[in-house]
Structures are given as C-alpha cells and as structure tokens.
Amino acid sequence: MISLHFSFLLLLAYVCEEGWKEAGVPGLWWSAAIFLAVFTCVVLHELGHSFMARRFGVGVRRILLMPIGGMAEFDSIPRKPSQELLIAAAGPAVNFAIAAVLWCVVSFPDGWDDVSIPSSLGDIGRFLLLANLVMGIFNLTPAFPMDGGRILRALLALWIPYVRATYWAAMVAKVVTVVGFAAAVYFGRYFTAAICVLIFFFGEAEYRAVKRREMDEARLREALSRLYASPPAEEPPVLNV
C-alpha cells in the first residue's frame, strides 16, 4: 500500500507554481511530469526494499511518500546481518539499474545542472538518469538509518552484537551528518542541511528504540526462565528402620 504525506502534495503544488512562473503553462506541466517521474523512481526504490524484505518473510505495512523521499515501513528488521544487508542494498540497486537502462536510451547530460525545466521526453530521461545516480549514491551514505547506514550495521553485526553494531552505525551517522550539515550550509544548500538534521535525530531515535527493545526482550527472557524453571528435585525421604 502506498500512502502520501500531506506535505507531498504541498511540494507538488510548489514545483508546479515554480514551473509556471518560469515557463507558463508548459513549464507547469513539464515540472509536474518530472516531479512525478522522480517520485515514481522513489517508489521503485522502496519496492526494491519491500520485495527483498518479503522474500525473507518480513511484512511490509506501507510505503510512505514524503517531500524528502520515501520510506517502507516493515513489521520488523531481520536480525540476520546477511538479510538486512540485502534488504538495504536492494533499494539503491534499483536506482542504479534504472540509470543503466536510461543510459542505453538517452545521452548522458553534459553537466549536473544541464536540465532545469524539461521540454521533451529526452530531457526527462536525462534528468532521471542523473536523479537515479544521485539517489543511489546518496542512499549509500553511511548515515544510519539510511541504506548505507543499515549496510554498515549489518557488516558490523557480523563481528559484534546487534545493539553495539547499531550504536556504532549511529555514531558514524552523527559524524557524517554534522559534516554534511556544515558543508550544506556553507554552499547554501539549506534543504540538504535540513535533511542532515532529520537523519541525525532519526538515527539516534532508532538506536534508542533498538536498545529499548533489546532490554525488553532480555527482561522477557529472564521472566520466562523464572516462570518455567524446573523445580529442584526433592530428596528421597529418609526411612528409619
């Protein structure tokens, strides 16, 4: 099931308004087309995660689309590092696959800002080629809980306990997001700076959730062990003859 956050529609309206200001009605329609095309790729990215998760028996509640991207909501995250690694890598792999197909169809743009408002299907194809490369590379950034951060946690979990792996993945994410925030502010990329702030707090929140769940499971195991512990065997009675 695919859900839209209300702010997604606000962003669509903003993009259409900017296109209309720059190129009139054609600009409005082309801006809407490129916006929806990019978020179609976002949905495909999340479906990559979802299909891989379902392969390992993980339920997928929904895919939520927001202005900053998409998010697949799972019932749980597999504790097996190999499974989490494959689930996390599936999304960027879809983006790189889309970019590879488009590269065979359209020419590679001369520059990153070569297309502002597209005016043809070729322009949309070139824009999407770049967008999918950026999306795939950006999601591989080791900033937990992004895909790269989850891949890092999965690799760490091969050697250390799951909670400690989450802790170190979250610590790396903090360093990466702080550096990214400073660079984004320096270059005037305030939207990117806002994303860095969100990732910083999301990573910390997920680490605390994992730690809390681990403590709850430990308490439950301890309670069950006490409840179902076998009573000590009674000594046989001593007979006085």
Q: What is the pLDDT along the chain (241 residues), one digit of tens a residue?
A: 788 888 888 888 888 888 888 878 888 888 889 899 999 999 999 999 999 999 999 988 899 888 778 888 888 878 789 999 999 999 999 999 999 999 998 877 665 555 456 667 878 888 899 999 999 999 999 988 889 999 999 999 999 998 899 999 999 999 999 999 999 999 988 888 888 888 888 888 888 888 888 777 667 766 766 666 555 555 444 334 3
Helix spans in the chain (H): 6-55, 81-105, 121-139, 147-156, 162-186, 190-227
CB 126 within 8 A of CB 78: no
- State the pLDDT at residue 108: 72
Q: Looking at the annotation, which residues are catalytic?
A: 46
Full-model pTM: 0.81
The 3-state DSSP class for residue 140 equals coil
- Closest listed residue to residue 11, CA positions, set 136, 135, 191, 184: 191
Distance CA 209, CA 139 (A): 22
The CA-CA-CA angle for residues 41, 43, 46, to 5°, reads 110
Strands 60-66 and 2-4: parallel
The 3-state DSSP class for residue 119 equals coil
- Closest listed residue to residue 47, CA positions, set 93, 11, 104, 99: 93
